[in-house]
């Protein structure tokens, strides 16, 4: 079942789905041979005309990255030592599945929790308070790791004001901003180069800390060789 769901997701992402019957994906129905379109930005009164290209591009990049991470999770050709993506067609289709997957890798967790509306694929790994932190430990990497990719929500309003996440691993420190002034919420991919690969068989420790704001949402992670 998991392989079938992943296969459908990858085919949809590649625009090659040729189902005999319509397929519903994230609330959108695709008919035989159709290629899904990237959702337009929400048409709110605060959306400026000059912002539309940037918002559309952000949405497109988020969808592409989510699709790419799902394809890299293919057990037939593993390129990632660790990967999960919140999506209704992946095995991480609800908060409970994310929590169950992450728990064995959590060396510590202070105020992070899997939650959200899985019906609309708005679930993820969420910081619940200021200064929330967690640490992932991955023992004996199955493939070398050179890059880490984090999919995260960028949103607006008082709840998201000044929210920033710090990520530390392999002697590197990265920062992700979760706030913007546009009245829309988008998933943004963040791919970081570790500079040199962690070798197969090594252990990997990744620290996450909320260094600004009161919340943050991660919707996917991948620690990969390329």
* Residue segments in the chain with a per-residue pLDDT below the cut of 70: 1-78, 118-121
97 vs 12, 63, 117, 199, CA distance in Å? 22, 21, 13, 28
Handedness of CA 39, 51, 188, 71 (dihedral sign): positive
Q: Which among 119, 125, 196 has a CA at the least distance from the CA of 165?
A: 125
pLDDT digits (tens, 9 = 90+) for 161-173: 999 999 999 999 9
77 vs 15, 19, 71, 72, 89, CA distance in Å? 20, 24, 9, 8, 19
Q: For residues 210 and 161, is the Cβ–Cβ distance under 8 A?
A: no
CATH architecture of residue range(s) 46-224: Sandwich (2.60)
The pTM of this model reads 0.70
pLDDT digits (tens, 9 = 90+) for 184-196: 889 899 999 999 9
């Amino acid at each position: 079942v998991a392989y079938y769901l992943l296969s459908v997701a990858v085919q949809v992402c590649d625009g090659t789905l040729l189902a005999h019957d319509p397929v519903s994906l994230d609330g959108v129905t695709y008919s035989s041979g159709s290629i899904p379109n990237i959702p337009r930005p929400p048409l709110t009164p605060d959306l400026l005309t000059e912002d539309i290209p940037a918002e559309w591009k952000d949405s497109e990049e988020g969808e592409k990255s989510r699709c790419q991470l799902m394809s890299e999770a293919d057990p037939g050709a593993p390129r990632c030592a660790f990967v999960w993506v919140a999506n209704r067609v992946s095995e991480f289709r609800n908060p409970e599945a994310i929590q169950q997957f992450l728990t064995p890798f959590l060396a510590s967790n202070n105020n992070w929790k899997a939650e959200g509306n899985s019906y609309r694929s708005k679930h993820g790994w969420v910081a619940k308070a200021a200064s929330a932190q967690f640490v992932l430990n991955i023992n004996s990497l199955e493939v070398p790791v050179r890059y880490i990719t984090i999919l995260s929500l960028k949103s607006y309003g008082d709840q998201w004001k000044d929210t920033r996440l710090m990520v530390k691993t392999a002697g590197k420190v990265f920062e992700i901003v979760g706030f913007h002034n546009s009245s829309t919420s988008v998933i943004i991919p963040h791919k970081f180069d570790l500079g040199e690969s962690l070798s197969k068989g090594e252990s990997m420790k990744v620290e996450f800390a909320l260094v600004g704001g009161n919340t943050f949402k991660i919707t996917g992670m991948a620690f990969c060789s390329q």
